[in-house]
Amino acid sequence: MVVDRWCRGAVVAVLLAGALGFAGSPPAVAGGTDPAGPTGGPCAYTPTPEEPAARPVPLPPDPRRTPSRGHVSVLLHTNLGPIPLVLDRAAAPCTVQSFVHLVRHRFYDRTICHRLTAYPTLLVLQCGDPSGTGEGGPGYRYRDELPTGLPPAPTDPTGARRVYARGVLAMANAGPDTNGSQFFLVYGDSALRPNYSIFGGVTPAGLRTVDRVAAGGVTPTEEDPAPLDGPPARRTEIRTARVCF
């Protein structure tokens, strides 16, 4: 099967993952869980009843010692080709724990990548919302695990923005500590405030698929025949998402 073949290939990507330069630190140890509220471990996954899940899913496991070493390979099998990902537990342990949980519960299956940006300083493809609107999530949120040591963006004279390099995999959010299920793939060096948790990277094979999406541009509208932000003109559907190992 195609999925199995690409999962086998992802083993090589994991061995090379150290070259991607991810940074981060493990969370502090904590204990216990309260099913009626936030989980009691270090990740403190918090239900958001005011923003119910776009697709039913339980809260992720939150062990006292969240795995904070090693890599996990995930394959997004899309209608336009495979997007293998390498998740870095050391960079963002709670984020990886949540992402793997959502993949294993088939949360991302049969979803679309709903947003493509094509600004010179922001080149990303955003996915992870089963509603396809950009408003949906998993019914919980959790804290940021922000990157450190990113180089300043040369396009920002204030020094506030940093380079999220081509190939970075990061969480989208609606403000501090609002991570859920939406994530973005960086297909060209982008200038962003370092407010988005980096939790892995996209392999070269995955970037080739994302480049095909980007080459199609953003869907035009009557108001804007050449938009730089919006749904990708080449509809991109995640047919399945699977943890390879």
Provide the whole-model pTM. 0.88
Contact by Cβ (8 Å): 182, 137: yes
In this predicted structure, what is the pLDDT of residue 1? Answer: 43
> What is residue 36's predicted lDDT score, i.e. its pLDDT?
62
Task: Please state, in angstroms and as integers, the Cα–Cα distance from residue 241 to each residue in 81, 84, 112, following that order.
Answer: 12, 10, 12
pLDDT at 14: 41
User: Residue 243, class by beta-carbon neighbours within 10 Å (0-12 exposed, 13-18 middle, 19+ buried)?
Assistant: middle
Residue 202: per-residue pLDDT: 98
Determine contact, residues 57/85, Cβ cutoff 8 Å. no
Q: Give the CA distances from residue 180 to residues 51, 108, 170, in Å, rounded to whole numbers and listed in that order.
A: 11, 12, 12
Domain at 2-23+54-243: CATH code = 2.40.100.10
In tens digits, the chain (245 residues) has pLDDT values of: 444 565 765 544 444 444 443 333 222 223 333 446 899 999 999 999 999 999 999 999 999 999 999 999 999 999 999 999 999 999 999 999 999 999 999 999 999 999 999 999 999 999 999 999 999 999 999 999 999 999 999 999 999 999 999 999 999 999 999 999 999 999 999 999 999 999 999 999 999 999 999 999 999 999 999 999 999 999 999 999 999 96
Query: Is 65:29 a contact under the CB 8 Å cutoff?
Result: yes
pLDDT (0 to 100) of residue 33: 37
SS3 content of the chain, % helix, strand, coil (to 5): 15, 30, 55
Question: Would you list the domain boundaries of the chain?
Answer: 2-23+54-243
What pLDDT score was predicted for residue 21?
A: 37
